[in-house]
Chains A and B, each alone.
Chain A
Amino acid sequence: MAELEAVIGLEIHVQLATRTKMFCGCELSFGDEPNVHTCPVCLAHPGVLPVVNEEAIRSALKIAAALECEVAPRSIFHRKNYFYPDSPKAYQISQYDIPIAGAGRLGDVRIHRAHLEEDAAKMIHVGESGRIHGSGASLVDFNRGGTPLVEIVTEPDLRSAAEAAAWARLLRETVRQLGVSDVNMEEGSLRVDGNISVRPAGSAELGTKTELKNMNSFRFLERGIEAELTRQRELVEAGEKVVQETLHFHPEDGTLHPLRSKEEAHDYRYFPEPDLVPIAPTEAMLRGARESLPELPAARVERYREQVGLAEDVAALLAADPETAAYFEQAAEAAGRVEPRVVANWVTGELAAALRQEGGEASAAKSRVEPATLAALVAMVQEKKISHGSAKTVLAELVANGGDPAEIVEREGLAQISDGGELEAIVAVAVEANPKAAEQIRAGNQKAIGAIVGAVMKETKGRADGGEVNRLIKEKLGA
């Protein structure tokens, strides 16, 4: 059997951080006392009518611009009819066949569409199951009901769980930088569902997909998709068929549970919402959305690769959030003649490692190390004023207590040994002390040099230049 390829598409619900709800004037909230942000409209009293939140349209247009989507000249709302206590009107107002945003792209993934809709109220099921079936009682909090949502649907362009999680992170960062949502997965302001299938590698046909829900972190998203891919691969390899269904991921034990078919068997009886008029964005609104866009991560990665000459992985690390990107750019600027590529490696490499070591938030921008400070340190290494090893020591001190690198070097006596005679003498002692290694090096085994270099570094407390030490050892042993 041919190898099975994963085919993954994502559906992302983004709660917009507008001041008020999608169709009424109630304020948005999170964590407030239940049912305080309600009114006749969002409680669906008889006779009320929805009015579209203009700020939500502007936010959706920004998302559309960031995802390079085509914007519909006239998009409309439909009613999606279903009975459930989280939906007081017994229908959700949602865009259906003419969404505000059509085809687009983010990174390597094509966007199928993005549309506006309203969020449901929050249900709290009292009892063991945590679901409506089998619960002792169910409570409804209408504070969330009517929160504006943008649902973004991708094409099935993702090929692994890791790829899906990485792309979802890129999307979150992109939306966050637009300033239109809190994009907090734990609080539910960003919700990601997966459409998952497998097919023989190279096949153009799509396999039967399942829909995977309830993954409220990127880690769970990756684990959930991985678990579902494994399940589907095992089924197909055993000659069985994948059944189209909706699955819930349980992060506690990593298991997948099908939603009961009764909850799923809906005929939503969509029809155009007669209480609303079409959304027809003006040219000024479209221009406003485009012009409000900051430089987004995908574009920044491109610029770092093309213009700054960074490797893709380093570029992606630096470009993800604007604070880190700004840190890098300020440091590179301050480092003067030092190549930006070198500064980039220090930000993503040694500085990140030092911050992790220190614990806490591993954000360069929020650390005690100012961009100019890091630049000065990197310049000292480049100019061979201190060794790479000493620089790491200085960096650890900077991360812990801040300060000036030159002063620390002075105080700790970390200046590189620049006197050739002094270093030569130390090398000679080290060679003497490691006769076995010296013999091996003479015999042509270059790997054995590590032991002697280590001894030199120990003696100099890392203040020697590694390249110079290597050269001196080889010279001494005639290797």
Chain B
Amino acid sequence: MSDVLALTALQAHEAMVAGDLDAGEYAATWREAAAADELNAYLWRDEDGGAGAIAVERPCIAPVAVKDIFCTEGVPTTAGSRILEGYRPPYTSTAVRRLLEAGAPVLGKTNMDEFAMGSSNENSAYGPVLNPWDRGRVPGGSSGGSAAVVAGGLAPWSIGTDTGGSIRQPAALCGIVGLKPTYGAISRYGMIAFASSLDQCGPLTRDVSDAALLLGILQGADPCDSTSVGLPEAPRLPDREDLSGLRFAVPADLARDAIEPGVRELFEATLATIERLGGEIAETSLPHAEHGISAYYVIAPAEASSNLARYDGVRYGMRAESAGDVIEMYEATRAQGFGAEVKRRVMLGTYALSSGYYDAYYGQAQKVRTKIAADFTAAFSEYDFVVTPTSPSVAFGLGEKTEDPLAMYLNDFFTVPMSLAGIPAISIPAGLAEPAGGGPRLPVGFQIAAPAFAEQKLLDAAYALEQGIGFDAGPSGAPYAGIGHKKRTGVGGEEDG
């Protein structure tokens, strides 16, 4: 294992800028590391280097693992689905283009729940991703591959998408940082749509500083995405040392009973850390947040039912052999090409939009969404942040929840309200906790949500809290574990570790 793999992406960037690290060798070292994937985390790897590369004067950005939902010209892009098997897009997504323009090579495409529908990665048509902390457990989803490669030392950092928690929850379950930016901060162009009004690209990184660096590369208004606006200012690297003067609100209506004891303990401990750092803890009310899951599982499937209608076997991807007419060909292609969860949501969504049911389902869900957004607005008029556990449990066992979709959906209980409100939220590791059923301790995530476009403030606070928590564990064999790398030199006095 090369020492350079222990560097965070920011440290590697600084070393490359200083001329102490050769970008080509560094990228090659990572390609070698990625080739050792035993987690089924990559669906495609750039074995020779240079996929889609754009000539930049001096490449100095670490290679990025990209969720297989971002179209990249000439590179297989499946969204974890059989229906896109063999598809090589004729164009490149804005997010990947920005990475390439910054000089960051694409290391590979990461496994995911089919069309980003899932919380465990078990819905991938290409098999589940294994959690690097415990290979009998799930990495979370849908950006499970993107979380596992970072936690497992198969990539320095990655990008994923978050529709109802798909960046934050797998980041939590894998013990890394995951940021879902404000809706509109990063272009969605070329990002295969699941639920258009919720989908947002974001970074999965070892620490908060890397998240800030990657967000800075990705963010910005894009003429190809009318809903993109970018951030008001390019993000700076966070440097806040304490939390004095900041008010953190815990939703009083938080379903504490649904939270695993180990997760609850670490959540309370993190609140104590916030106070120790000078932050103020208070209770607030988000009266409609408990309906978030219900609204989400109407809105997201409704949009998905329309977004996924284009996969018909006519122009690209898989086409079923069919002797019948065009409608029969559509039906056979979709029956064979989509997995069970995708079919379930397409049916749910089709029903919710049907004539006579629209008002009762889709219309009503949109009203709930508006109320939830108003709840957050009210909370932010008094407090700087809203905090919750990221997920009610640590990583669960493979196959444990696949038979019970509702139990699976409840994984998103704490992350969905922020998605519905379109606001930014970050998950940072809070520590390790024993699973409810016993066994070795596993990562727990702590979620911080901020008002729309307050990414800088969010990153600053998350950075200070990250230092206060001092989590530096990793799964066995991870190149970065236990070296206290997260404190940056030149920030807040002496470097530790």
- Binary A-proximity of B67-111 (CB < 8 A = 1, otherwise 0): 001110000010100001001011101000000000000000000
Known: A46-B87, A47-B93, A47-B189. A271 touches B327 (CB 8 A): no
CB distance from B329 to the nearest CB of A (A): 10
How many chain B residues touch A (CB < 8 A): the figure is: 45
The answer to the question of A205 belonging to the interface, with a C-beta cut-off of 8 Å to chain B, is no
Give the residue name and chain of the A residue nearest to B91 (CB). Answer: A40
Bound complex: CA A123 to CA B191 (Å): 29
CB within 8 Å of A: which B299-340 residues:
302-303, 305-306, 309-312, 314-316, 326-327, 330
Give the residue name and chain of the B residue nearest to A138 (CB). Answer: B326
The answer to the question of B12 belonging to the interface, with a C-beta cut-off of 8 Å to chain A, is no
Are A267 and B354 closer than 8 Å at their CB atoms?
yes
Known: A89-B310, A138-B326. A48 touches B189 (CB 8 A): yes
Give the residue name and chain of the B residue nearest to A268 (CB). Answer: B355
CB distance from A324 to the nearest CB of B (A): 44
Residues of B within 8 A of A275 (CB): 193, 196, 225-227
CB distance from B112 to the nearest CB of A (A): 13
Bound complex: CA A242 to CA B316 (Å): 45
Are B71 and A267 closer than 8 Å at their CB atoms?
no
The answer to the question of B188 belonging to the interface, with a C-beta cut-off of 8 Å to chain A, is yes
Interface centre among B188, B227, B315 (most CB of A within 10 A): B315
How many chain A residues touch B (CB < 8 A): the figure is: 30
- Binary B-proximity of A38-52 (CB < 8 A = 1, otherwise 0): 001001111111111
Q: Which of A43, A51, A91 contacts B315 (CB 8 A)?
A: A43
Give the residue name and chain of the A residue nearest to B366 (CB). Answer: A272
Residues of B within 8 A of A48 (CB): 91, 189-190
CB distance from B100 to the nearest CB of A (A): 16
Bound complex: CA A52 to CA B227 (Å): 12
Bound complex: CA A271 to CA B362 (Å): 9
The answer to the question of B409 belonging to the interface, with a C-beta cut-off of 8 Å to chain A, is no
Are A90 and B226 closer than 8 Å at their CB atoms?
no
- Binary B-proximity of A248-289 (CB < 8 A = 1, otherwise 0): 000000000000000000010111001111000000000000
Are B350 and A269 closer than 8 Å at their CB atoms?
yes
Q: Which of B192, B197, B316, B326 contacts A274 (CB 8 A)?
A: B197
The answer to the question of B380 belonging to the interface, with a C-beta cut-off of 8 Å to chain A, is no
Known: A83-B327, A271-B306. A40 touches B355 (CB 8 A): no
Bound complex: CA A138 to CA B84 (Å): 24
Bound complex: CA A144 to CA B439 (Å): 62
Bound complex: CA A132 to CA B329 (Å): 14
Known: A83-B327, A269-B355, A275-B227. A47 touches B306 (CB 8 A): no
Interface centre among A52, A79, A269 (most CB of B within 10 A): A269
- Binary A-proximity of B190-219 (CB < 8 A = 1, otherwise 0): 111101110000000000000000000000
Known: A40-B89, A46-B84, A269-B354. A88 touches B226 (CB 8 A): no
Residues of B within 8 A of A389 (CB): none
Interface centre among A138, A140, A274 (most CB of B within 10 A): A274
Are B77 and A49 closer than 8 Å at their CB atoms?
no
CB within 8 Å of B: which A89-124 residues:
89-91
Bound complex: CA A46 to CA B318 (Å): 13
Are B224 and A45 closer than 8 Å at their CB atoms?
no
Give the residue name and chain of the A residue nearest to B199 (CB). Answer: A274
Are B355 and A267 closer than 8 Å at their CB atoms?
yes
Bound complex: CA A288 to CA B168 (Å): 48
Tell me the B residues contacting A by CB distance below 8 Å: 69-71, 77, 79, 84, 87, 89-91, 93, 188-193, 195-197, 223-227, 302-303, 305-306, 309-312, 314-316, 326-327, 330, 350, 353-355, 358, 362
List the 5 closest A-B pairs by CB distance, nearest first. A90-B309, A269-B353, A274-B196, A274-B197, A46-B192
A-B contact pairs, 15 of them (CB 8 A): A45-B71, A46-B310, A46-B316, A47-B189, A49-B188, A50-B226, A81-B305, A81-B353, A88-B315, A91-B306, A271-B362, A274-B197, A274-B303, A275-B226, A277-B226
